[in-house]
Amino acid sequence: MPISRPKLLALQVLVAVAVLAFWHVMTHWPLFGDVRTMRFFFSTPIDVIGRVYTMFADGSVYRHLWITLIETILAFIIGATLGIVVGFWFARKPLVAAVFDPYVKMMNALPRVVLAPIFALWFGLGIWSKVWLGVTLVFFIVFFNVYQGVREVPQVVLANARMLGMNERQLLRHVYWPA
């Protein structure tokens, strides 16, 4: 049963209001412990909204947004490039894929939260530790999609392309890449 757009929007707003009300109650009344302890760990919603307003009003947030945008773009470009190259390499070389498959799956299963302090030690607290953490997020998504897409190219299509005289570069451009 489809739900109407206004009703869905009203329910979404209701959930947001309920979360904000719960947050407000938790930081003002001692339901689960001392209010001072709760405020130490969780600021009040009004304080957070005030801080966000102040950061936008004085313009200090834009510098942080710019740095985050740069980190995101770098992580995407590096992760996607590595994912495409390694995915194609694994798909075209079955021996390489067979040897490295358990290691790739092991690295993908590693929680990214574990990698954050390791990258901070390796690359410092600057931009590159965050970029490489983002690379790990992008790389595996792109890698597995490229790997699976290239491996699932029908053999009939490959045979027909080779019969038409395509070399490896043309196969890559006209058959594998669209796959």
Enumerate residue ranges in the chain where pLDDT < 50: none
Q: What is the pLDDT of residue 172?
A: 78
Contact 49, 71 (CB under 8 A): no
What span, in angstroms and rounded, lies between the C-alpha atoms of 128 and 160?
46
Which helix (H) or strand (E) covers residue 60, if one does? helix 60-92
Q: What is the pLDDT of residue 99?
A: 96
Q: What is the pLDDT of residue 143?
A: 96
What span, in angstroms and rounded, lies between the C-alpha atoms of 70 and 61?
14
pLDDT digits (tens, 9 = 90+) for 68-86: 999 999 999 999 999 999 9
Q: How many CA atoms lie within 13 A of 143 on its CB side?
A: 19
pTM for the model = 0.75
Q: What is the pLDDT of residue 15?
A: 97
Q: What is the pLDDT of residue 170?
A: 84
